[in-house]
Amino acid sequence: MKKIFLYLSATCISLICRAEPLGNSYAQISPEGEVAVASVSPEATRIAMDVVARGGNAIDAAIAAAFTLGVVDGHNSGIGGGCFILVRMADGRIFAIDGREMAPAAATRDMFVVNGIANPELSRTGALASGIPGSVAAFDKLQKLGGKLKFRDVILPAAELAEQGFSISPALAERIAATAGNLAKFPASAAIYLDKNNKPLPAFSLLQQKDLAGTYRAIAKQGPDYFYRGDFAKKTSRWMAANNGLITSKDFANYQVKMRKPIVSEFAGYTLYGFPPPSSGGMHVAQILNILEQFELDKLAPAERYHLIAEAMKFAFADRAHWLGDGDFTKVPLSLTDKRYAQIIAQKISLEKATADIAHGNPDVDIQHLMNKHTTHIAAADLEGNWVAITSTVNTSFGSKVVIPGTGVVLNNQMDDFSAQVGAANAFVLVGSDANAIAARKRPLSSMSPTLVFKNGEPVMTLGAAGGPTIISQVVQTLLYSLNDSMPVEKAMAQARIHQQWNPNLLFVEAAMPIEIQQALQKKGHNLKVWPTMGASQAIQLRDGKLVPVAEPRVILQNQRAN
């Protein structure tokens, strides 16, 4: 039996889920203890472990989980989107695989500007909202680098699940209902997620995706060429041409996985590997931790500590808005992760009051949309030495809301992650400069933050998160508590979270935070927004020679309540 209880620490209230020795249905370890997987879905973790039972390693398991999430968690991720992959191979090599979506060749700087003002609807829904998906190519690259099985072996189990169907979870039903109006605009999307009366499918009803199963099987048989040069690319090109979209078959054929150089930083005696631009995660996780390292954290009262974390986040997100973009198109200063730069920022921070926000005015904010758990993260590791961190997304719920007819594939709306106009906020209320402006074949900025942690040259943790811009803050806080405070990762992940992204100038705090700490933060000048729970992280930690997989306790508890 799983036991759930509240743990009162020196800093906050945390929610811990205790489970059987082999983990729960979200985070599992093989019977021999050789391979561990953590995901946001019991079905994805189960299929990953089935692949392990057939001889697969952590790489095979992670890819199998990713394809399965495209079936059961398609509102967050899938092959119509993109991903960032950090992997440490058994032979010690470390790769950063960029499977981020790419703007079509016909994309232009002001393609979403109408009458001088950026129109957010154009970048979020419909044919113009999508970039060329990169996940299939990235997963294939990862498989060839270190998987034990064939690509088809890690795809077909998910194809079977898509065809047989599964029971819609309350969380998925809620997301279908919230986006039903836009899904109804596209017949192929409505045919999957809505009933004959265009009403959203309810929780616990059967969701079958036979077209998606067919697409998976075609990729399993023909490889990525089916997706980028075969029927899928042709079907998408035809649909785009008929619906005023820009993506062509040539765009698909020209898509390439990029092999990036990881962001490497040091914190609390550990070495961290993060993902470089077009991810902002690697740089700003390192930057925030560098800033925090300038203070004597262990001597601070809980409210002072939270205040300091919030201030470090604020400075980092301000830099993100100005400097960050696709490194192939804009010069991103690596000095953002320099400890000397962190010292300069630290000198601007007062422990007594919040730093005055001198940025642009705050736009109207859709808080509910900002805090939704978009994206998904997969953590996998094995005792052979393969450590995998995959963060995958279609951007907002069901991406562009477009399913290409006959394919079952939901296309992303990643074009919204560009700066449609300097100072114009995207769906997550993030603003940017010309560094993240739209350009042909450019990749939009992302907050995805897959991370690997090393001690004395050996891997000890893989982690990442879902939740839009809160991905960065989640990863920072898990690393802070686990590395600086020596908490087991499950306890670190359960600490009450905060999030401050500079714009809007709000400090989001979880309701689990004691009221006296909230009041102390308000006295320091923070404008608080209390939120029930925040984000969804996954991690695996090596402890005493054993792999310990941990799935987000908030997600587990919410699903237990819903069921």
CA distance 467 to 465: 7
Task: Count CB neighbours of 424 within 10 A.
Answer: 17
276-298 burial string, b = 16+ CB within 10 Å, else e? bbbbbbbbbbbbbbbbbbbbebe
pLDDT at 361 over 60: no
pTM of the model: 0.92
Using only C-alpha atoms, what is the Rg of the chain? 22
Quote the pLDDT of residue 430: 66
> Across the chain, what does the average pLDDT equal?
91
Quote the pLDDT of residue 432: 63
Residue 221 amino acid letter: K
- Please tell me the least confidently modeled range out of 363-367, 393-397, 438-442, 483-487: 363-367
Q: What is the mean pLDDT of residues 69-86?
A: 97
CA distance 74 to 188: 14
Task: Count CB neighbours of 218 within 10 A.
Answer: 18
Higher pLDDT, 335 or 51: 51
Confidence of residue 423 (pLDDT cuts 50, 70, 90): low
- Please tell me the least confidently modeled range out of 24-33, 194-203, 406-415: 24-33
Residue 76, exposed/middle/buried by CB under 10 A (0-12, 13-18, 19+)? buried
CA distance 525 to 26: 39
pLDDT at 9 over 60: no
- Please tell me the least confidently modeled range out of 138-147, 367-376, 476-485: 367-376
The dihedral through the CA atoms of 394, 397, 398, 400 has a sign that is: negative
CA distance 477 to 499: 10
The counts of H helices and E strands in the chain are: 19, 22
The SS3 assignment for 121 reads helix
Confidence of residue 425 (pLDDT cuts 50, 70, 90): low
Q: What is the mean pLDDT of residues 363-378?
A: 59
Quote the pLDDT of residue 359: 43
Q: What is the mean pLDDT of residues 487-505?
A: 95
Consecutive H or E run containing 560: helix 553-562
Quote the pLDDT of residue 180: 97
Pairing mode, strands 507-510 and 528-531: parallel
Per residue, what are the HEC states of 9-66?
CCCCEEEEEECCCCECCCEEECCCCCEEEECCCHHHHHHHHHHHHCCCCHHHHHHHHH
CA distance 173 to 185: 18
Phi and psi for 466 in degrees, rounded to 5? -125, 155
- Percent of the chain topping pLDDT 90: 83
What are the residue numbers of the active site? 375
Confidence of residue 372 (pLDDT cuts 50, 70, 90): low
Quote the pLDDT of residue 429: 56
CA distance 267 to 271: 7
Q: What is the mean pLDDT of residues 465-479?
A: 96
Give me the DSSP letters along 378-391: EEEEETTS-EEEEE
Quote the pLDDT of residue 374: 64
